[in-house]
Amino acid sequence: MPDFYNQAIEGLVIGQGVGSCGTSAYIGKRVTVIDIATHPYWAQWSELAKKANLSSCWSEPIINNRGKVIGTFAIYFEKPTSPTTKDFRLIEQFASLSRIAIEREKVDQLIWHQANFDHLTQLPNRSLVNEYIVNILKKAKRENTQFTIAMLDIDNFKDVNDSLGHSTGDALLVETSKRIKNSLRESDIIARIGGDEFIIVLTNTNGVKNIEILGKRILTALAKPYLFEEKEIYCTASIGVAIYPNDADNINQLLKNADHAMYSAKVKGRNTMHYFTDSMRTNFLKRMQLIQDLRIAVKERQFFIVYQPIVNLKNNNTYKAEALIRWQHPKKGLVSPLDFIPIAEETGLIIELSEWVFQQVLQDLKLWRGTYCENLQISINTSAVQYKNHNKQILNWIEQLKQHNIPSHALTIEITESLLMESNVLVDNIIADIRQQGVVIAIDDFGTGYCSFSYLKNFSVDYIKIDQSFVKGMSSDNNDMALCEAIIVMADKLNIEVIAEGIETAQQRQLLATAGCTFGQGYLLSKPLLKKDFEQFLINGNNEKSEF
Ligand code: C2E
Ligand code: CA
Ligand code: CA
């Protein structure tokens, strides 16, 4: 067919009397027009057909196995021509072959789509984005240009999924994908490569300015509240960036480096974007090693507990202590909990670790309450994971206290502000339940979180532990002092006791006592003590022996 003809009939709507094919497609039956010039179906197009030198047109509908017309097969002649029976048979066979070809193509497309796209968000999946990157990399090599791979992970997706259900989780992912997509340029690629993980490929990002702008745009778009079933949900994301050719020259390494950078973004507070640096690789390897060692340590019980006395600043009485875990690494020596607790939390090992701590504390409480200090109260640090996913670990501890005839107020549970801030109904209920059963609740590191005051209104807690950073900076006329005083006054009004952490000097102790703080903990009063030394401490009063 000549171009002018194709252009003229492009987009024509099928219907009765719309040429041979339009009619045949519409009625689903064969239409044989022997002379176009005189046939009513062609009345509107007879001039056009004449110009294209078309005189006859026989059109056969192509019908699929569900009876639906999916096209037509037509034969044109330059002279008016009537079909023979043999012609008809041939046309039918051609139409049938066309049907097979069309349907085959459709199935192929469907299979291809399913293999390359994520069914939930309709975004390319890992395998397709890999193909894209292969090509982008080739082009960048050839043309000496730069491109960027960004790894994006939603910060609190698991919590949303666990607390609000999978359908909300799915809806969140769909909405997130849309927001990311809308923040990008036409030429950028976004793919979903796992649960809440996305890869973004930015082409033509010469200089970091572009990357910076796009990254900010994405983070801002994602941080806006999501509305599901009239509930507002807040979700942020962490982004890690690796740039070709600066950070790596092959796909695997680029992806790995972007992943390391993403991990750093998570560690450094989330809702941020981080660029890959070489030290990240080293840190990553160190971390992997530490995870491996920690698994062994938990199996082999390479831990012990030290007890740090908590002293009544008014009368020097000590019948409280905090249990702090120590890891005796077979090669590295003593590893600080600051280094391994976060990893234990991420890997879930904290549950087992904390269980071990509780069992030790249980035995010690039983022994010491029965011998040297009948009022002894021990506090245990707990992590957010121990309250999530319907975890009953701490409620179970209360049962065990009962079985050993230890009153529940002999145990204090230290929780962090961040746990309360998340304000998840399940978590709130567990904490309320624990307190109802008589276990004492203390908020650890108070003042380092965000909304310290508002949740005190909704939560009943027994103790607030003022974070060491405030105590450290305290002098008689500065802001830290004012803050400590304010916390003490507020706590007093709310009937909450205060423990000041990290008291190292006599002056700090003096200032806190004057401000009305009842309890203190810190090197000045006693360092954390080995079990045998703490026992001695209980017997003798303030005679500390060992140092940690
Ligand atoms: P934390 O709960 O704030 O514990 C107080 C930390 O301050 C302890 O560090 C303690 O040794 C240290 N400290 C006490 N007095 C002073 C002082 O006067 N000056 C200074 N500079 N530091 C003082 P540690 O034992 O290294 O523990 C660090 C953190 O690890 C703890 O902070 C706690 O969050 C966590 N942790 C320790 N044991 C456990 C545990 O069994 N489970 C969990 N989930 N976390 C634990
Ligand atoms: Ca603590
Ligand atoms: Ca603390």
Is there a contact between 55 and 81 (Cβ–Cβ < 8 Å)?
yes
Structure tokens at 171: 């809806």
Neighbouring residues of 72: CB distance < 8 A, sequence distance ≥ 6: 21, 24, 25, 59, 60, 61, 62, 95
pLDDT at position 14, please?
A: 96
544 in the Ramachandran plot: left (φ > 0), alpha (ψ -120 to 50) or beta?
A: beta
pLDDT along the chain (548 residues), means of 10: 93 95 96 96 96 96 92 95 92 93 92 93 95 95 93 90 88 96 93 95 82 92 90 91 92 94 88 87 84 95 97 94 97 94 92 97 96 95 88 94 97 89 77 94 86 71 94 87 92 94 96 96 97 92 47
Per-residue pLDDT tens over the stretch 350-378: 999 999 999 999 999 999 999 999 999 99
CA distances, 168 to each of 163, 174, 195, 222, 271 (Å): 9, 10, 13, 16, 21
Ligand 1: atom nearest CA of 524 is 18
Structure tokens at 237: 């994301």
Per-residue pLDDT tens over the stretch 121-163: 999 999 999 999 999 999 999 999 999 999 999 998 988 888 8
State the ligand closest to the CA atom of 344. Answer: 1
Ligand 1: atom nearest CA of 324 is 38
Per-residue pLDDT tens over the stretch 170-189: 999 999 999 999 999 999 99
pLDDT at position 421, please?
A: 73
pLDDT at position 450, please?
A: 63
Cβ of 324 less than 6 Å from ligand 1: yes
Ligand 1: atom nearest CA of 416 is 34
Q: What residues pair up with 303 in beta bridges, in sequence order?
A: 327
Cβ of 357 less than 6 Å from ligand 1: yes
Structure tokens at 51: 């110009």
Q: Are strands 197-203 and 189-194 parallel, antiparallel or unpaired?
A: antiparallel
DSSP state of 161: H
State the Cα–Cα distance between residues 512 and 475, nearest whole angstrom: 10
pLDDT at position 545, please?
A: 42
Q: Are strands 31-33 and 197-203 parallel, antiparallel or unpaired?
A: unpaired
pLDDT at position 326, please?
A: 97
Q: Which residue of 304, 322, 324, 364 sits with most ligand 1 atoms within 8 Å of its CB, as the best mutation to test the pocket?
A: 324
State the Cα–Cα distance between residues 310 and 312, nearest whole angstrom: 7
Per-residue pLDDT tens over the stretch 451-491: 556 677 777 899 999 999 999 988 887 888 999 999 999 99
Q: Whose CA is nearest to atom 3 of ligand 1?
A: 445
Helix residue spans in 144-207 (DSSP H): 157-164, 166-183
pLDDT at position 546, please?
A: 43
Q: Which residue of 322, 336, 381, 509 sits with most ligand 1 atoms within 8 Å of its CB, as the best mutation to test the pocket?
A: 381
List, as ranges, residues with CB under 5 A of the ion ligand 3: 444-445, 501
Candidates 293, 284, 290, 292; CA nearest to 266 is 284
pLDDT at position 548, please?
A: 45
Domains assigned to the chain: 3-116 (3.30.450.40), 126-276 (3.30.70.270), 301-540 (3.20.20.450)
- pTM greater than 0.75 (yes/no): no
State the Cα–Cα distance between residues 229 and 538, nearest whole angstrom: 56
pLDDT at position 395, please?
A: 93
| Torsion over CA: 412, 413, 418, 422 (sign) | negative
Neighbouring residues of 270: CB distance < 8 A, sequence distance ≥ 6: 155, 236, 237, 238
Q: What is the helix (H) or strand (E) element at residue 447, kind and residue range?
A: none
Measure 444 CA to ligand 2 centroid, in angstroms. Answer: 5
Q: Are strands 320-329 and 303-312 parallel, antiparallel or unpaired?
A: antiparallel
pLDDT at position 423, please?
A: 64
